[in-house]
Structure 1
Amino acid sequence: MDRTGTVHDSIKLSFNVGDIAVTREGLILLLDWANNSVKSVSKDGEFKTLVTSETYPCGICCLTNGNFVVVFADTKQVIEYDDKGEEKRVFDKSLFKRPWFVAENKVNKHLYVCDKSHYSQQTSPGRVLALDAHGELQYTYSGQSSSEFVPMGMCSDSTGNVLITDYKKHRIHLLDKDGRFLQYVLCREHGVVDPYALVVDAHGFTWVCTGNKKQVMVFKYSMSTMG
C-alpha cells in the first residue's frame, strides 16, 4: 500500500498475525500467535516456519546485522535469531517484567523493548528499555507525567530519534537517541486515537496504526511546527 492508500499487492493468510517485520532481503516475517511460531513469506508468497516455541511470541523486529529478535511476554524472554531461525542470544530476562514489543534504532543499534507491568497490552502501564549492542541497559523511559504511560509501538527516524506510541493518551512521544524527551509530535488533535504501531519510512513519513478507528494514518512531522 502506498501513501495514498492504494493497495498494490496482498497475501492471503490462514492465521492471525501478532506482529510483522521485513528483513533486509525483503522477506516478510510474521508472528503466528495461534501456533506459537515465526513464519517467513517470500516475494513469491512461499511460507516457511523459522521458529516454534512453547508460548506465543508477542513482538518481532529485524536487525541491521541480518538477524531478528522476538519477545515472549509469558517467559520474559527476548531472543535473537539468525536468518535461518537458529537461536543466537538470549537477553538478560531479569531486566523485564512482560516484554511485548521490540524495535531497533538503525543509527546507534540500540534495541528498544516495550515492557508491560501486567498481562493486558492495551491497558497495562509500562516503560521502554534501551539496550546497547551487548545487551546492557542504557536507560529506561517511563513517560512524562504521573499519569499512566501505555507504550505500544516504537521506531526510529533517520537521525536516530525515537518515536513511541502512548496508547492511552493518544499521542506520540519523541526522544533523542540518548533517551531525552524532546516533545509530543502527534496527538489527538491530529486525529491520532489509540495509536498502536508506527514506522518511519525511507522518505521520512510516519505511518501510524490506530486501534479505535482501525486506520493507517500517514504524517510528515516537523519538530519546528508540531508541539
Structure 2
Amino acid sequence: MDPLHRAQIILLCDLCKTAHLQSHCERCDINLCQTCVGEHLSDSSIRHKVVLYKYRKSLNYSKCTDHAGELSKHYCEKCDIPVCSTCVSSSKHEGHDISDILEKLNAKTESLQNDLEELKTKIYPRYEVMVNDVQREKAELETNYGKLTTAADQQGEIFHQEITAIVKRRKSDIQEIKNKHLSTLNINTEEITKKMAELKQIISDLKSILKSNDVSLTSTYKSRNSEFRLVPPKFRVTVPSLSAQKINKDQLNGMFGSLSPLSINTEHGDTMKSAEAVSSTQAKPLLDDPRLTATIHTGYKYKLSSVSCLSEEQVWTCGSNEIMKLFNLQSKLLTSIQTKSGNKPADIAVTRDGYLVYTDDINKTVNLVKNKQIETIITLHGWVPRHVCSTASDNLLVTMYSDDYKQSKVVRYSGSTEKQTIQFNNDGRPLYSSGHYKYISENRNLDICVADWSANAVVVVNQSGKLRFRYTGNPYNTKQSFTPVGITTDSQSHILTADINNHRIHILDQDGHFLRYIHCDLVNPFGLCVDIRDNLFVAERNTTKVKEIQYF
C-alpha cells in the first residue's frame, strides 16, 4: 500500500509542514502539497520536475567518503566528484564551483538517454546489417568458389584436349615420315632386285654358251661385268628423333592460368597485400638470324594497326576500316566481324577463353565478341580507351587518355569492374605521356609493359603499379631515335617492341636490358603478338601484311 494511504503514518508537505503531501519534485527532492506546488513552480530559475508522489523516483545518494553519515547532495565541478554539505563549507572545496547534484544527474540522464537512443536506432541496426551482409557473403562463398573450381576443371579439360590433339598430330607426322621412309626403301629394293634378275639371266646365258662350244656365240659375246661392278646406291634413312623439351612446371602452371591476388577490403579502403606471383621458364636460345616463316596478306587498303593470336595457326587483325578479320597462315580469311558502332576499332586482343575484345575510341567503349555477338562491357566518361590486352588472370588492361588530351593512365578491369588504376609514380608525377599510342602487354612475371610512342620509351611497372624501369632505346646506338609502337612478351619474359621508323623489333630481357634486334626486311612494323610456341607475328603498318617470324 502506498505510504500516503497508510492510516498509521501521516506524511506532510516539506514546505508548509501542515498539509498532506500530494506531489514530489524530483529536481529538488522535496514533497509538496497541492497548495505548495504552485509556489514551488513559481521559481523559474530552476527546471523543476513535479510528479505525483506515487510516481516519484527514489534517488540513491552516495555517502560522503569524508564525513560519515552525510549524503552527497552536491557536486564539485572542479574536483568532478559528489560532495556533502559539510564538504561544501570546508576549506578543501573553497572557491570551487558547486552545483546541485540533481542538476548534474539530469544532465547525465539526458546524455544517457541520447546515447541509448543512438545505440538503439542508429548504431545497433548498422551492426545488424553488417552481420546480415557477412552471412549473405558466406552463403555466396560456396557457390562462387564452386564456380572457380569448375573453371579450373574446364581449363584442365582444355589442356587435355590440346595435349591429345598434339599427340595425334605428332603420331600423324610420324606415320607420314615412316611411309616416306618405306617408300624410299621399296624403290631401292626394286632397283636392286631388277639388277639381280638381269645378273641371273646373264649367268644362265654364259653357262649355256660354255656348254655349247658354239664358236659363233662365243665370239659375239660382249661382257657386261664392268656395268654391274658399280653396284646400285643403297639408301640409308635415319629414323627421326622426337626432341621433346623437358616440361617446366612453372611455365605450365603459368599457361594454365593464375588466380588473382586475394584482396580483403575494409570500409575505409585498406587492402591486405599478397606476394606478387613470379614465374620462371626454361631458357631457350635466341637465333642470331631470325627467319621469316609465313606472310599473311590481309587485304586492308592501308594502316594495319593490330594483330592478336587466336592460336598458332590463326590470327585476328584490324586496320583501316570497321572490319576485324581472322586469317590462317595461308592468308585464308576464316571469318570477319564488323564493329557494333561501325567505327574503326582502335585495338584488339584475344582473351584466355579465345574471345575477341576491341576498343572503340569514338564512342569510348570496350567490347567483347562471343559467337559473333558483340557485348559492350565498359563505357567510359571523360576518358577515351585506346589499347588493350588480356592478362594471365583473365583481366583486361586498358590504356586511355582524358578528353582534354592532358592525361593518360592504365586501368585494370575484371569484367566491367575497375580493379586498379596506374597513372603516377611515387613522386606523384605522370608515368605516361599524354599521347594516344600506348600499346600494352603483361609479362610472365606480371609486369605491365607499355610502349609510349610520344615519350619514345617503354614504361614497365610491377603488378602493384610501381615503376620498375624505362627503356629509351639501345644504349649503344644513340644516333637513331627510338619510336616504339606495338609491344608483346614471350614465355621467357622477354619484351619485344616495334621500332616503326627504324623498321625493326627490339628484344629486351625482363629487366629492360637490350638483347638484340629483329630485322627480317620489316617495313614499318606496328602491332605485335606472340603465340604459345613463341612465334612472333608482326603487323606492317603500310604494306598491311602480317609476318610470322621465328626468333628462338
Instruction: Indicate if the aligned counterparts of 1:98 and 1:115 stay in contact, CA closer than 8 A.
Output: no
Q: 1:212 to 1:152 in 2, by over 3 A?
A: same
Instruction: Tell whether 2:90 aligns with 1:90.
Output: no
Q: Which residue of 2 aligns with 1:121?
A: none
Q: Is the 8 A contact 1:129 1:139 kept in 2?
A: yes
1:61 aligns with 2:389: yes
Q: Which structure: larger Rg?
A: 2
Shift of 1:95: 1.2
User: How far is the alpha carbon of 1:177 from its aligned partner?
Assistant: 1.5
The whole-number CA distance in structure 2 between the counterparts of 1:143 and 1:35 is 35
Structural mapping, 1:180-219, within 5 Å: 180-185=513-518, 187=519, 190-219=520-549
- Determine whether 1:21 maps to 2:354: no
- For 1:148-187, what aligned pairs fall within 5 Å after superposition? 148-185=481-518, 187=519
Aligned match of 1:112 in 426, 441, 449?
A: 449
What residue is the counterpart of 1:38 in the other structure? 366
Output the amino acid matched with 1:87.
E
User: Structure 2: how far apart are the matches of 1:208 and 1:150?
Assistant: 16
What is aligned with 1:122? none
**Aligned counterparts of 2:408 and 2:351: Cα–Cα separation in 1:** 24
Task: Return the offset for 1:173.
Answer: 0.3
Q: Deviations over 1:119-161 (max 9, x none)?
A: xxxxxx5101111111111111001233221100111111111
SS in 2 for 1:8: strand
The one-character-per-residue Cα deviations of 1:172-223 (angstroms, maximum 9, x if unpaired) are 00011121110002x2xx221110011111122211001121111111123x
What letter matches 2:433 in structure 1? K
Q: Distance in 1 between matches of 2:383 and 2:446?
A: 27
CA distance, structure 2, for counterparts of residue 70 and residue 170 of structure 1: 26
Q: Does 1:138 align with 2:484?
A: no
Distance 2:419 2:457 in 1: 26
1:2 aligns with 2:334: no
What's the TM-score, normalizing by structure 2? 0.37
1:55 Cα deviation after fit = 3.4
Q: 1:11 aligns with which of 337, 349, 367?
A: 337
Tell me, what secondary structure is at the counterpart of 2:502? coil
Q: How far off its partner does 1:22 sit? A: 1.2
> Offset of 1:12 from its aligned partner?
2.8
Query: Aligned pair in 2 of structure 1 residues 116, 207: CA closer, same or farther (>3 Å)?
Result: closer
Contact 1:77 1:91 in 2 (8 A): yes
Q: Does 1:102 align with 2:440?
A: yes
3-state DSSP class of the match of 1:17?
A: coil
The structure carrying a bigger helix percent of its residues is 2
Output the CA distance in 1 between the equivalents of 2:483 and 2:542. Answer: 15
What is the root-mean-square deviation of aligned Cα atoms in Å? 1.5
CA drift at 1:58: 1.5
Q: Which amino acid aligns with 2:351?
A: T
Aligned AA (2:422):
F
Q: Is residue 453–residue 485 contact of structure 2 (8 Å, CA) maintained in 1?
A: no
The answer (yes or no) to whether the contact 2:351–2:394 under 8 Å persists in 1 is: yes
Q: Which 5+ residue runs of structure 1 have no aligned equivalent?
A: 118-124, 223-227
Q: 1:98·1:116 contact (CA, 8 Å) conserved in 2? A: no
Can you give the 5+ residue segments of structure 2 that lack an aligned partner in the other structure? 1-326, 425-429
Deviations 1:36-79 (A, max 9, x none): 1111101x111111112233212111111121111113331211
Question: Which of the residues 393, 412, 437 maps onto 1:80?
Answer: 412
> Aligned equivalents of 1:159 and 1:101: distance in 2?
20
TM-score, normalised by the number of residues in structure 1: 0.87
- Matched residue SS, 1:168: helix
2:333 and 2:448 map into 1 onto residues whose CA distance is: 31
Residue identity opposite 1:130 in structure 2: V
1:114, distance to aligned residue in structure 2 (A):
1.7
Alignment partners' CA distance in 2, 1:177 and 1:26: 26
Matched residue type, 1:169 = N
